[in-house]
Amino acid sequence: MKGKYSEKLIIAQGPGTLVHLRVPLTRVLMTPSRLSRIALRSGYAVAVGLLVLTSSLANGQVASRDAAPSKAVEATAPVNAGPAWLTVGGQLRARAEAYTGGGFKPDNSDEYLLTRVLLNARIHPTRTTSLFVEGMDARGPWKNTAPAGAPFRDHSDLRQLYLQIGLDNSAQLLRAGRLELAFGDGRLVGSLPWANTARTFDGALTTFTGSGYRVDAFAASVVKVDQNKFDKNVPGNNFYGVYGSTPRLVRNGIVQPFFFWRRQSGLTSELGVRGTMNFGTLGLRAAGRLPSNFDYDAQIAAQRGSLGDESIRAWAGHGLLRT
């Protein structure tokens, strides 16, 4: 069939190039940090991060759905100087970057500073309910004007606002509003923490935890970052999924099956025909520990669907062994 999408794995496509991931079959899936620098292509990139202040940021974020043994970063304790029903926190981050030869162009260079301020608060009306709100101001002093907006700039906007029913560690939990989604190692669905304008979604997430298993289900739409307007999702750009996790199938490890579904209307196919895109991504991730202090992380995903009368077929895999 003409116009067949046979070498592209699309996970969370947004308007333009916001979150449109296409991976050739001959490559493994790329980490978010590599994705943020892929446009450089050649030359060099220098990134120096300075963490000035961090507080209860982790309190308002969705933790990665990875229960495998790993070198976790301990979250900073929240600020509790005020009343018991209120928790406040924030983060101030600065990073300097520079590159030459961007896009294989000898005259393409840039040096700039990326700053990001996050301020958040969590209100606890009852013991098992809470309301979380987080604002973000991301700027890029001395950065060339193009490209503007994501992933560099987003001036004074709402990053997260959701109602939570259930405690963070309870067996059943529901979040609804503007929130983060992060599963596994964040390779397919994550918040892109390296980017100056981290990703969020408008939707709902529910979690069920039992003896030896965990299941997350969500329905959401990715938020489009707009430097000069209020960030919002695009109607018709929908994302659904189920992500499971169990440590019982492998020793000293975890197995995570998942299924994602993407639907977006008003797109144009490679043949120039307007239509609706529908496709599903079925995959499996396994991670854990091996003898002699080795860790492993492997993931494979297959994708099937259509854009109008054209088919979408793709697969991708990733493997990591480290000590």
Tokens for 135? 């604002």
d(CA 60, CA 121): 8
d(CA 70, CA 67): 8
d(CA 254, CA 67): 7
Sequence-ordered list of residues with C-beta below 8 angstroms from that of 235, at least 6 positions apart, any chain: 221
Q: What are phi and psi of 59, to 5 degrees?
A: -65, -30
Query: Kind and range of the H or E element at 34?
Result: helix 32-37
Tokens for 62? 């969705």
Tokens for 15? 């308007």
Domains defined along the chain, listed by start: 32-322 (2.40.160)
Q: Per residue of the chain (323 residues), give pLDDT as tens.
A: 334 455 555 555 443 333 333 333 333 333 333 333 333 333 333 333 443 444 433 344 444 445 433 333 334 445 556 788 999 999 999 999 998 988 888 888 999 999 999 999 999 999 999 999 999 999 999 888 677 777 899 989 999 999 999 999 899 999 999 999 999 999 999 999 899 999 999 999 999 999 999 999 999 999 999 888 899 999 999 999 999 999 999 999 999 999 999 999 999 988 888 999 999 999 999 999 999 999 999 999 999 999 988 999 999 999 999 99
Q: What are phi and psi of 157, to 5 degrees?
A: -135, 170
Q: How far is CA 95 from the centre of its chain?
A: 20
